[in-house]
Amino acid sequence: MEQSTPSEPLSYAVTRNPTPASDAERARRMDSQPFGTVWSDHLAKATWTLEGGWGSRRVEAFSDLVLHPGATVLHYGQQVFEGLKAYRWADGGIHLFRPEANAARFAASAARMALPPLPEEDFLASIEALLSVDAAWVPAQDETSLYLRPLLIGTEACLGVRPSMTVEYLLMASPVGAYFPHGVKPVSIWVAQGFHRAGAGGTGQAKTAGNYAASMLPQQQAADHGCDQVLFLDAIHDAYVEELGGMNVFAVRRDGSVWTPRVTGTILEGVTRDSVIELLRGDGRDVIERDIPLAELRDGIASGAVTELFACGTAAVVTPIGRLVAPELDLVVGDGGAGALTQSIRGRLTDIQYGRAPDEHGWMQRVV
């Protein structure tokens, strides 16, 4: 099997989908569907074996997988994934936002889950190869993008609990608009009761399925309480704010400072989180990464010392949080609407992503 070294140019052999969606069908499917439910015409793939390393790089028609029912991923969840977006600029060009950061996190997540890290240049080459045939799937309307979902799965049929000796890399693409069905409006969050997302030494820092699977029951409970998202507290003290089901969280204070939970190994190190911090600090704003007790947040919202809360992530971008709910607690944040700083940081970030503002940080990478 072909093996890569960093100096070798990586090439994905492209076999075009013989029955791609027609222009009309693609337009119909791209029109306001729920997040992550529409797929482009192709998949990029690569295969890893213990003997040969990474090889068999290819782009082929999007299709279901053939997977042995005993595959490690199905039984023991040996998998990791990423999320990043391709943005269409007004001049038609297609750009990625900090893809090398996602590549690095993908490799770090893989290492934690005893999967072979995909080299960064391979990650980027697969995206370029997929976009070379699926560029038409990058939408052009405001707030839309092509969400890219890289995935590594253990495919070996083996019920022994040990790392898979065969691994498949898959890159799929889904045209998306806003993550939340009601668009970019303030969301309400429910504080998880008796459930934690991650513990010390666990997999909280890795982008792996189990973290998200474990968030679904608390997320259902959030919905039962009329909330859009669940907020997790730390597992040791059940007191400190960590993150939402699939996004990081920030608090804006009346004194102008901004707080966000520090990363401790249990919190996903969001690329959007990092970018928001850099933009705010670049403005001279005090951004404090620290432990945030829920009690302090609650009192701050009640007294007006905390004026805004927002969530951020690739999918959610920057989403205002209008309400914080727990048993015997139902607080409106600020006036319940999108706060001024939340709106401005969302605007700053998306202006860079869509090429409406200069890319002073060198975050954007043109692919097509």
Binding site for ligand COI (CB under 6 A): 83, 212, 246, 313-315
Q: What DSSP letter does each residue of 8-72 carry, written as one string?
A: SPP-PEE---SSPPPHHHHHHHHSSPPTT----SEEEEEEEETTTEEEEEEEEE-------TTBH
Beta pairing partners, 55: 47
CB nearer to ligand COI: pick between 158 and 209: 209
Helix-helix angle 99-112:120-134, to 10 degrees: 120
- Nearest to ligand COI by Cβ — which residue? 83
Residue at 214: amino acid letter: A
CB nearer to ligand COI: pick between 180 and 195: 180
CB nearer to ligand COI: pick between 58 and 196: 196
CB nearer to ligand COI: pick between 124 and 315: 315
Q: Are 309 and 241 contacting, i.e. CB atoms less than 8 angstroms apart?
A: no
CB nearer to ligand COI: pick between 72 and 215: 215
CB nearer to ligand COI: pick between 267 and 301: 267
Q: Are 325 and 59 contacting, i.e. CB atoms less than 8 angstroms apart?
A: no
Least spacing, CB of residue 334 vs ligand COI, in Å: 24
Least spacing, CB of residue 331 vs ligand COI, in Å: 25
Least spacing, CB of residue 246 vs ligand COI, in Å: 3
Least spacing, CB of residue 349 vs ligand COI, in Å: 13
Task: Say how far apart CA 365 and CA 368 lie, in whole Å.
Answer: 10
Task: Say how far apart CA 237 and CA 294 lie, in whole Å.
Answer: 11
Least spacing, CB of residue 215 vs ligand COI, in Å: 9
For residue 196, give both structure tokens.
């934690």
> 110: burial class by Cβ within 10 Å (0-12, 13-18, 19+)?
buried
Least spacing, CB of residue 187 vs ligand COI, in Å: 14
Which stretches within the chain are classed as H helix?
A: 23-30, 72-76, 99-112, 120-134, 209-224, 271-282, 294-303, 340-353
CB nearer to ligand COI: pick between 58 and 98: 98
Least spacing, CB of residue 169 vs ligand COI, in Å: 17
Pairing of strands 248-253, 241-244: unpaired
CB nearer to ligand COI: pick between 21 and 277: 277
Least spacing, CB of residue 82 vs ligand COI, in Å: 7
| Residues 228, 230, 233: CA angle, nearest 5 degrees | 155
Number of Cβ within 10 Å of residue 11's Cβ equals 11
Which contiguous run of DSSP H or E holds residue 94? strand 94-97
